[in-house]
């Protein structure tokens, strides 16, 4: 059943389908007698409370939960499985890596690879976003670490964001700092969240907000002490799940469909655009310099 779901997801990406199959073969699932279920994959941990109808996905791709192609493949399959299983009405996104929610796109997937790889990678990024943004489940991001760029996009695609109050946990779309440009649909999601002027300011300067600033600008909905992130996410979830599903889902779709359709109608062009942008010599150089800086930070 899960493979069928995988096939649907990756109808346009044969390699991804193959990888998904490998992952599904390695998957282990355990059921407890108390309604708790736990799916284990290498990079994505899914815990669920069947009785409450709530699942929690913990990103587990150390050291920084970068969105590698392998991570995205596992993540997409998990999302699809949960979405298709009517047991689950709510999903909490959080991290298993201390201090990092997600470092965003894996820069190594965008450097020194061939054009087909860039296209495959970007399709997986698009697919992940569409699955998150259009999910019928209530999505609450329990942001327990730094979340730049693609990490921020995952949080912004949730219905509600709870951020741990730690000045090191900065959040934002910092693409310009890398010498790259956030795609139009990243921009659309940011505009929908914080408004046009604040988004223009944040995007041009590549701002990474500390928790109090993120709350002020509306990028997150709540900032709480670090040890209360999960419990707050859970109580927010309970509140949201008290709303009848059909009414909430139709409302969510009414609010989000136009933004998602904007990408859906030009998906192939968006892939081509990414491929030609990222493969430019100047962009490759910028990304390599940025990666090098990250590596040298430690020394």
Interface contacts to ligand LRBWVUCK, rule CB under 6 A: 63-64, 66, 100, 103-108, 146, 148-150, 174-175, 178, 180-183, 274, 277-278, 291, 294-295, 297-298
Least distance in Å: CB of 59 to ligand LRBWVUCK? 12
**Residue 246 vs 295, nearer CB to ligand LRBWVUCK:** 295
**Residue 136 vs 284, nearer CB to ligand LRBWVUCK:** 284
Tokens of 55: 């699942």
Residues 6+ apart with CB under 8 A from 42: 23, 26, 60, 70, 74
**Residue 54 vs 103, nearer CB to ligand LRBWVUCK:** 103
Helix (H, G, I), strand (E, B) or coil at 93: strand
- 211 secondary structure, DSSP code: H
- Long-range CB pairs of 43-49 (<8 Å, 24+ gap) are 43/68, 43/70, 43/71, 43/74, 43/75, 44/71, 44/74, 44/75, 44/78, 45/96, 46/78, 46/82, 48/82, 48/87, 48/88
Which residues form the catalytic set?
105, 150, 174-175
Least distance in Å: CB of 64 to ligand LRBWVUCK? 4
CA count, 13 A, side-chain hemisphere, 180: 31
Least distance in Å: CB of 140 to ligand LRBWVUCK? 22
Least distance in Å: CB of 109 to ligand LRBWVUCK? 8
The number of beta carbons lying within 10 Å of the beta carbon of residue 127 is: 22
**Residue 87 vs 284, nearer CB to ligand LRBWVUCK:** 284
């Amino acid at each position: 059943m899960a493979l069928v779901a995988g096939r649907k997801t990756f109808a346009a990406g044969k390699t991804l389908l193959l990888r998904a199959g490998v992952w599904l073969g390695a998957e282990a699932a355990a059921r407890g007698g108390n309604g708790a279920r736990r799916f284990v994959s290498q990079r994505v941990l899914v815990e669920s409370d069947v009785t409450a109808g709530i699942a929690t996905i913990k990103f587990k791709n150390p050291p920084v939960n970068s969105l590698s192609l392998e991570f995205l493949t596992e993540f997409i399959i998990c999302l699809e499985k949960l979405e298709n299983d009517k047991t689950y009405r709510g999903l909490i996104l959080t991290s298993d890596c201390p201090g990092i929610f997600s470092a965003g796109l894996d820069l190594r997937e965008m450097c020194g690879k061939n054009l087909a790889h860039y296209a495959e990678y970007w399709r997986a990024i698009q697919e992940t976003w569409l699955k998150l943004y259009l999910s019928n489940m209530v999505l609450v991001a329990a942001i327990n670490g730094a979340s730049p760029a693609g990490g921020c996009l995952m949080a912004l695609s949730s219905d509600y964001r709870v951020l741990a109050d730690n000045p090191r946990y900065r959040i934002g779309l910092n693409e310009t700092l890398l010498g790259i440009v956030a795609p139009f649909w990243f921009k659309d999601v940011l505009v929908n969240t914080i408004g046009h002027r604040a988004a223009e300011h944040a995007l041009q300067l590549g701002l990474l907000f500390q928790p109090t600033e993120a709350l002020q600008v509306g990028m997150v909905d709540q900032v709480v002490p670090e040890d209360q992130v999960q419990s707050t996410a859970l109580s927010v979830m309970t509140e949201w799940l008290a709303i009848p599903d059909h009414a909430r889902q139709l409302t969510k779709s009414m609010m989000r469909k136009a933004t998602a359709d904007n990408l859906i109608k030009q998906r192939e062009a968006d892939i081509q655009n990414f491929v030609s942008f990222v493969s430019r010599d100047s962009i490759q150089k910028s990304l390599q310099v940025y990666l090098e800086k990250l590596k040298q930070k430690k020394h």
